[in-house]
Structure 1
């Protein structure tokens, strides 16, 4: 059996011990080394050439982003470990990368490991590049990329290509320019929290629109987009939408 060479980067002794135990319970994983700092992690990654790194986001001497910024072409999978930091989680979601919240749930850990075999290495490099881009700027503009987890692949999309999003239960239809469409395996609320609210607004429980693609607001409670799509505006959100689109009043 081929083993996945695994490195742990964690400076909290209790969490480190828990991760060691979780790795020992997965037959496909083989623990190669443990790092407790940014400097130590860089050296260990260079020496061990791991397949998987379990990486704490916040370390005593820096962050996971400091480690990634010093690696030109990371060729290993990453599962981030965090006690929850809004910015860090948002950056990770932009790259559609996996993360686990402390304390770590055994079942969630196993599910994260199972996902590894479904990700192509080339796709993973794209994910890391998105994370490094967003993690280094701490801001996002409409030229930024987002990695969409669709039903059968990972797809890179630029934010300024998105016309609107529509919710379909636990899935989201992402409608792009030129009548292209991507089905994402995440609910609409996931994207509401992720997309920059300077550009994207929720008009209805089932719709989020890109303000740059709005053509006009109809008094009957409908937004007409530049691709001629008609998006409903919920009655309770009418005043908010008009405020956001004050030039269109």
Structure 2
């Protein structure tokens, strides 16, 4: 059984989560908490396998709890009603996040990730959460980190290692420095919202480019990267791309 703790202050959301989890035969809800001290005590005493944690609580936020834990040895899924800016910090390291109001299919997908991680016994949630905490507390820079999840491993990158990203249907391929590339099972739109706009440009629906690797804009309607890769610029994005490039001055 996956022993699960719910940290949430909205009664209706708690009832909804409990009902969803009751449909899963391998999930056991061992407790619920709505305040920081109680949540911290329950995590320490109950030692759950999984924590579903709301970001904003009446007396603080999830990061206040996590900062007080010596070891984060449980799977962690955030619950949030926040907009993209708040979600961005979470996506850097959390196993998953669920937007409120809850979607049962999204919860099921998140639980599948939990099951795989518990079975594999080789993913350090502590490392992931520390990266999430860092990105939550510090301003984004080219040295900021991004955590990419694959079925086999977790890849930790600095933003400055990403040359460009290319859409492959519901997958995204990351083209990295030192001739590396990595395919992730998330659409490009996910990373367009995640990666900081001051460092990345979306010139085409299929491409996301790191400004640091742009060499020149070709008047034929494309961007030439420093590695001589040519990235197309869609007609409807041309003016936007030119304005972004001009502002680099």
CA offset digits 1:111-157 (Å, max 9, x no partner)? 322221222553433321221111223x3211111111335432111
CA gap 1:220/1:133 in 2 versus in 1, 3 angstroms: same
Q: Counterpart in 1 of 2:242?
A: 242
Q: Counterpart in 2 of 1:126?
A: 127
Q: Contact 1:75/1:121 (CA < 8 Å) preserved in 2?
A: no
Tell me the distance in 2 between the aligned counterparts of 1:57 and 1:25.
25
Q: Secondary structure at the match of 1:103?
A: coil
Q: Give 1:76 deviation, angstroms.
A: 0.4
Tell me the distance in 1 between the aligned counterparts of 2:247 and 2:106.
47
For structure 1, which runs of at least 5 residues remain unmatched after alignment? none
Q: Contact 1:174/1:181 (CA < 8 Å) preserved in 2?
A: yes
- 1:1-249 aligned at under 5 Å gives the runs 3-95=1-93, 97-119=95-117, 120-137=121-138, 139-150=139-150, 152-246=152-246
Tell me the distance in 2 between the aligned counterparts of 1:96 and 1:113.
13
Q: Secondary structure at the match of 2:3?
A: strand
Q: Contact 2:78/2:94 (CA < 8 Å) preserved in 1?
A: no
Higher mean C-alpha deviation, range 98-107 or range 9-18 = 98-107
CA gap 1:204/1:43 in 2 versus in 1, 3 angstroms: same
For structure 2, which runs of at least 5 residues remain unmatched after alignment? none
Q: Secondary structure at the match of 1:175?
A: strand
Runs of 4+ in structure 1 deviating by more than 4 angstroms, as ranges, are none
TM-score (norm 2): 0.90
Q: CA RMSD in A?
A: 2.1
Q: Give 1:109 deviation, angstroms.
A: 2.5
Q: Contact 1:55/1:80 (CA < 8 Å) preserved in 2?
A: yes
Higher mean C-alpha deviation, range 22-31 or range 160-169 = 22-31
Tell me the distance in 2 between the aligned counterparts of 1:103 and 1:220.
46
Q: Give 1:158 deviation, angstroms.
A: 1.0
TM-score (norm 1): 0.90
